[in-house]
Amino acid sequence: MAFLELIGLTKKFGDAAAVSKVDLAVEQGQFVCLLGPSGCGKTTTLRLIAGFLTPDGGEIRVGGRVLSRAGSSEPPERRNMSMIFQSYALWPHMTVFENVAYGLRLRRLPKTEIQSRTDTILAVTKLHMLRDRYPGELSGGQQQRVSLARALVVKPETLLLDEPLSNLDANLREEMRIEIRNLHDQFRYTTVYVTHDQTEAMTTADLVVVMNQGGIDQAGSPEDIYKRPASEFVARFIGGTNILRGIRMGNDAVKCANGLVLRCDSGDFAAAGETAVSVRHHDIELKAERPPGDTNVVSGTVARQIYLGSHRDYLVEIEGGEKIRAVAPVSVDMPTGKSVWLYLAPEHCRALAR
Ligand code: ATP
């Protein structure tokens, strides 16, 4: 039995389902990211887990105990969970120390315990030097650190984070996500983290849950999701990819309208008829001469080339008019208008039936 279970979880606003029949099992101590585009239901799922919303269908269980089901929901304060918001939600009239200690005061713990637990967490989150400042006297990153300290001081079993870094600049975001993962590893609570940023999800999570239109398209390790996307949506959302369409040929190939036959070493060939094939930009080889072999090779013309320091980004128009994006080493320098060959190796071609 998993620690946190969502079973057929459904939430509607009016007639529209924001979350629809979601099933998810999270192990104790796991770091899970709910990842997906705006409006796909991530925040609603998180708020259901926190107990701020009551589901219309399905259940939420923690340690086998039902916390939410249709029409009834244990309130947030009775769940051993802390939530962190994008807006930090700090008390402006309280110092850093008072903000962090607030949750312990509410629990009426002895003064000495409040003092020592708050001191410890301020040290862990590198806030001890700022303990007497007010939120208005802190940078965005420092404020987010205070909200982390405040969430952790109550020793939650589960930490819920809703886009916690979206107000920070790129460098600070990178630093903070490493810190959030380090704190998770140090205290081993279960983390559910909502983000629309795939890099954030890939660098922090043990389990990435890709959501699409209120449901889960795929849940897996970052490597699974990247290397073995289960749907066209996941392939496109995680990393740059080309999607080519064709008709299935035998058990391992797809024939595109322009005659290009793509042998695919992986994917789903279960469905007959039209199949999409995903090939990542950086897995395509760009060549001046025709590579050997009858399959996975197509000719084209360079439509655009951008020099990006560490690589060149190409757009190649292939036979039939379709455009393929390919990332090549800087040493592969083909000018716009040049005739080229593309090799899409079978080990990088993944058939997607859905
Ligand atoms: P974002 O990344 O933009 O925050 P999200 O994936 O977190 O998006 P949700 O906030 O869960 O998405 O919203 C899912 C859907 O439910 C959206 O279509 C949204 O408009 C709708 N929705 C969310 N909250 C409410 C509400 N209180 N009333 C009506 N509709 C809502």
Looking up residue 267, the CATH number of its domain turns out to be 2.40.50.140
Residue 167: domain span: 4-227
pLDDT, position 168 = 78
Considering the domain boundaries, does residue 99 fall inside one?
yes
Q: Ligand 1 pocket: which of 34, 43, 194 to mutate (most atoms <8 Å of CB)?
A: 43
pLDDT, position 4 = 97
Ligand 1 contact, 350 CB (< 6 A): no
Domain boundary among 198, 227, 256: 227
pLDDT, position 271 = 65
What lies within 8 Å, CB to CB, of 182 at 6+ separation is none
Atom 10 of ligand 1: nearest residue by CA position: 43
Same domain, 164 and 286: no
Distance 18 CA to ligand 1 centre (A): 6
What is the count of structural domains for the chain? Answer: 2
Same domain, 247 and 191: no
Distance 1 CA to ligand 1 centre (A): 30
Which atom of ligand 1 lies nearest, measured to the CA of 44?
11
**Global pTM?**
0.89
Give burial (CB, 10 Å; 0-12/13-18/19+) of 92.
exposed
Instruction: Express each pLDDT in 77-87 by its tens digit.
Output: 889 999 988 88
Distance 13 CA to ligand 1 centre (A): 9
Same domain, 217 and 343: no
pLDDT, position 272 = 67
Question: Is the torsion defined by CA of 106, 107, 112, 118 positive or negative?
Answer: negative
Same domain, 206 and 317: no
Q: Which residues of the chain have pLDDT under 70?
A: 270-272, 354
Which atom of ligand 1 lies nearest, measured to the CA of 19?
14
Give burial (CB, 10 Å; 0-12/13-18/19+) of 38.
exposed
Same domain, 267 and 126: no
In the chain the first and final C-alpha atoms are separated, in Å, by 30
CA distances from 262 to 207, 244, 255, 277, 344 (A): 31, 9, 6, 8, 8
